[in-house]
């Protein structure tokens, strides 16, 4: 079966969904009273500065703030689509495109590292807990999983920062040591970043890992009791080959489906955790933009997270097609 029609159909549905989300996002950021220019003028006055009427009118004309909301939305979204122009953050005196580019690279690195930790730990542990049900290891991992779900992320982050600093002498907080913050990229800087990714990666991935383990374990237990597994075992198929080749491929479906929701969550990161660990990710930037009513910056971040969510769903759909033959059959012309 060709994957191209499936990808094209999913892409069209994703684009339609993103268009609806972008409009709803724009409506939400327009809810505060006044417009962004009013907030900018107020902020300047608090700092002892003023904005001339000509400058204020020029800003309103640029964003179409003196026109109906639909026209304002078209001004905003058309610049993003055709010129990749997200606007200007007057609160930070920089283009939004530059702000997103600075934060996105570190956010993607942290998210990829965290996702790798989640999958590398949850898959073997989930399979082991199902195959060795009611064993000491099953109970131990279950206890750790519920503990990970119960402990707040920011508290776990503080504890790990203390442990790594007090007992290992590692520099904690941020993604780089002081000497590498403004240094050019090198092997040493990459190693330093990977070292700093351990604490936030474990903190952000703990709850997700615990959830993935429980889902995979419960689904695999259901599959192991089904007749096709009993039949395959009676035919003498090796136990490890039987589990990995058949039941795991079915039980892993919900785990893969959850990738679509996990990706934007990791990319946005827990805002509190990012603030506590001083992480240069999109989370603190989004929080500050909302507090300062920098609506075009906040709207751009929301739109980016929505696009990443749609991309995550597309990736999880493609992974499901590869892992589960039944999905390929249902989507085939003769299925």
Give the domain CATH number at 119.
Answer: 1.10.3720.10
Whole-number pLDDT of residue 334: 46
- Residue 312 Cα distances to 24, 96, 166, angstroms: 20, 23, 38
Q: Is the pLDDT of residue 41 over 80?
A: no
**Mean pLDDT, to the nearest integer, of 22-28?**
86
Domains in the chain, number: 2
- 109 and 74 share one domain: no
Alpha-carbon torsion angle 239, 240, 244, 245, nearest 10: -60
177 versus 125: the higher-pLDDT residue is 125
Whole-number pLDDT of residue 270: 66
Cα(178)–Cα(183) distance, integer angstroms: 9
Residue 196 main-chain phi, psi, to 5 deg: -75, -15
**Nearest of 84, 76, 93 to residue 23 by alpha carbon:** 76
Q: What percent of the chain clears pLDDT 70, i.e. is strictly above it?
A: 89
- Mean per-residue pLDDT of the chain: 80
pLDDT band at 1 (very low <50, low <70, confident <90, very high): very low
Domain span at 83: 4-96
- 72 and 117 share one domain: no
Q: Which residue has the tokens 């039987």?
A: 242
Cα(295)–Cα(298) distance, integer angstroms: 5
**Last residue of one domain, picked from the residues 53, 72, 96:** 96
Per-residue model confidence as pLDDT tens digits over 224-241: 888 888 888 888 887 788
User: Hey, what are 61's tokens?
Assistant: 């004309």
Q: Is the pLDDT of residue 180 over 50?
A: yes
Q: Is the pLDDT of residue 335 over 80?
A: no
**Mean pLDDT, to the nearest integer, of 24-33?**
79
- 279 and 182 share one domain: yes
Burial class (CB in 10 A: 0-12, 13-18, 19+), 111: buried
- 184 and 37 share one domain: no
- 325 and 307 share one domain: yes
Q: Is the pLDDT of residue 304 over 80?
A: yes
- 179 and 313 share one domain: yes
pLDDT band at 332 (very low <50, low <70, confident <90, very high): low
Q: Which residue has the tokens 């790990």?
A: 160
Are the C-beta atoms of residues 192 and 177 closer than 8 Å to each other?
yes
């Amino acid at each position: 079966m060709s994957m191209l029609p499936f990808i094209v159909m999913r892409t069209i549905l994703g684009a339609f969904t993103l268009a609806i989300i972008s409009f709803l996002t724009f409506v939400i950021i327009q809810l505060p009273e006044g417009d962004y220019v009013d907030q900018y003028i107020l902020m300047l006055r608090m700092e002892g500065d003023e904005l001339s009427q000509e400058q204020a009118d020029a800003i309103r004309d640029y964003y179409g703030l003196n026109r109906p909301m639909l026209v304002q939305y078209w001004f905003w979204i058309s610049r993003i689509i055709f010129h990749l122009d997200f606007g200007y953050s007057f609160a930070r005196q920089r283009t939004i495109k530059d702000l997103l580019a600075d934060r996105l690279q570190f956010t993607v690195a942290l998210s990829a590292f965290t996702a790798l930790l989640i999958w590398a730990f949850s898959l073997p542990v989930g399979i082991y807990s199902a195959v060795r049900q009611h064993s000491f290891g099953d109970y131990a991992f279950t206890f750790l999983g519920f503990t990970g779900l119960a402990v707040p992320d920011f508290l776990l982050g503080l504890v790990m920062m203390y442990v790594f600093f007090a007992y290992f002498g590692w520099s904690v907080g941020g993604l780089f040591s002081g000497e590498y913050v403004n240094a050019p990229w090198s092997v040493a800087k990459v190693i330093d970043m990977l070292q700093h990714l351990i604490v936030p990666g474990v903190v952000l991935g703990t709850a997700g890992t615990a959830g993935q383990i429980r889902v995979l374990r419960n689904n695999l237990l259901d599959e192991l009791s089904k007749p096709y597994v009993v039949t395959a075992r009676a035919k003498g198929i090796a136990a490890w080959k039987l589990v990995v080749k058949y039941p795991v491929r079915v039980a892993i479906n919900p785990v893969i489906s959850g990738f679509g929701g996990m990706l934007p969550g990791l990319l946005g990161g827990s805002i509190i955790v990012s603030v506590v660990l001083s992480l240069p990710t999109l989370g603190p930037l989004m929080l500050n933009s909302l507090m300062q009513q920098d609506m075009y910056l906040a709207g751009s971040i929301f739109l980016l997270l929505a696009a990443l969510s749609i991309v995550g769903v597309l990736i999880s759909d493609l992974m499901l097609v590869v892992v589960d033959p039944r999905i390929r059959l249902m989507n085939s012309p003769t299925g």
